[in-house]
Amino acid sequence: MADDQSGPSAQAAAAPAGTNEHRAQQRQRMFAMLGAAGAVILVLFGLWWLLVASHYVTTDDAYVGAEVAQVTPLVGGAVKAVHVHETDQVKAGDVLVELDPADATFAYQKAEADYEATARQINGEAATADSLSAQVTARGADLARAQAQIDAGTADLAKAKLDYDRRAGLADSGAVSGDELSAAKSAYDNAKANLAAAQAAAAQAAAARKAAEGQFQAQQILVQGAVESNPQVAAARAARDAAKLDLERTVIRAPLDGVVSKKQVEVGQRVGVGVTLMSIVPVTQAFVDANFKESQLRRVRPGQPVTLKSDLYGGRVVYHGVVVGVSGGTGSAFSLIPAQNATGNWIKVVQRLPVRVRLDPNELAEHPLRLGLSMAATIDVAKSGEPSHGG
């Protein structure tokens, strides 16, 4: 009887012990599976990082930029007409603003008249040079005539002296009368006077010719070369061309293709040289400045491919670009009051450097961007690109 009563109790006591052991084995298997799964996940994550994630650097601190053209007048004046409005699309060469051309027209007309007057003056100077050349020739003829008179006077003097000397030698013998001797003496004296007068005339003619030659040479210097190459004519022509250019500049044209922004001009407004009238944003030539952490730039090189997404279009539009270069300094370095870290209470802050990314113009044409829009940029640093001095 005792054995029959103790059998079931022993079996009941042994049952919980077996259940606990089974549960412990299950927990061990579960932990082993969790450990194995964790190890697999770590291995997979390591492989993903090594083979994929480590090949890219990403930032959402990126913004659209462009080389904005400031439209400023090169001449002052009153605004006659404004042909564009804010957000208008314009092409290079389109008329944006017209200034009143009245003053510029008068200035051009005066410059044109001054040019014509100067050209005519130089033509007159050339005619004067021809006249002075003729005077030099005439003075040369006068000098030649005076020289001939000297030669004739010299011959007459020699003959008169010979006649006088012959008669003076015969005067003592009475072969020559006193009147004849006096006449010979008078002819001799006249011949000397005539020779002196001829010599004086020759000297005067030589001086006159020299003066004429000097005037001719001075005039030749003024009119040498073609009329158009004359310095006075060239200066007048330059003044005329400058006045014409000022007249053309009263019509202000778009310097490039883009969108009109920040228009600050209206009809009737008087504007001065250099005043900003509006800006032209070349949206088809936009770029992106992506601000990466300094620790992300170790492998960034110009020429590496970049994929970008814009908040404007969301993830459905992906832009493709190329790294152009890395900025020469951080934003804080170029700030008006740079950060001063030479203090005891210094906290290191990770800096960011702008990376310039050139976008595909075809993609920009299909999905235009605007200045300042947010972008997310990812650079494939596994590609070699080109060596960079700043990355």
302-344 tens-digit pLDDT: 999 999 999 899 888 999 999 999 888 887 777 777 766 666 6
- pLDDT (0 to 100) of residue 51: 57
Tokens of 38: 């964790």
Question: What CATH class is the domain 55-67+281-380?
Answer: mainly beta
- Which pLDDT band, with edges at 50, 70 and 90, does 213 fall under? low
Q: Quick one: how far is CA 331 from the chain centroid?
A: 28
| Residue 273 pLDDT greater than 90, yes or no | yes
SS3 sequence of the chain: CHHHHHHHHHHHHHHHHHHHHHHHHHHHHHHHHHHHHHHHHHHHHHHHHHHCHHHEEEEEEEEEECCCEEECCCCCEEEEEECCCCCCEECCCCEEEEECCHHHHHHHHHHHHHHHHHHHHHHHHHHHHHHHHHHHHHHHHHHHHHHHHHHHHHHHHHHHHHHHHHHHHHCCCCCCCHHHHHHHHHHHHHHHHHHHHHHHHHHHHHHHHHHHHHHHHHHHHHHCCCHHHCHHHHHHHHHHHHHHHHHHCCEEECCCCEEEECCCCCCCCEECCCCCCEEEECHHHCEEEEEEEHHHCCCCCCCCEEEEEECCCEEEEEEEEEEEEECCCCCCCCCCCCCCCCCCCCCCCCCEEEEEEEECHHHHHHCCCCCCCEEEEEEECCCCCCCCCCC
Exposure pattern of 156-184 as b/e (b: 16+ CB <10 Å)? Answer: bbeebeebbeebeeeeeeeebeeeeeeeb
Average pLDDT over residues 216-224: 61
- Which pLDDT band, with edges at 50, 70 and 90, does 128 fall under? low
- pLDDT (0 to 100) of residue 1: 45
When comparing pLDDT for 268 and 209, which is higher?
A: 268
Break the chain into its structural domains and give their ranges. Answer: 55-67+281-380, 69-101+249-279, 104-245
Q: Among 38-42, 101-105, 214-218, 260-264, which stretch is predicted with the lowest mean pLDDT?
A: 214-218
Same fold, 55-67+281-380 and 69-101+249-279: no
Separation of alpha carbons 353 and 305, rounded Å: 18
Q: What is the CATH number of domain 104-245?
A: 1.10.287.620
Closest by CA to 209, choosing from 128, 280, 145, is 145
| Residue 349 pLDDT greater than 80, yes or no | no
Q: What is the CATH number of domain 69-101+249-279?
A: 2.40.50.100
CB 248 within 8 A of CB 165: no
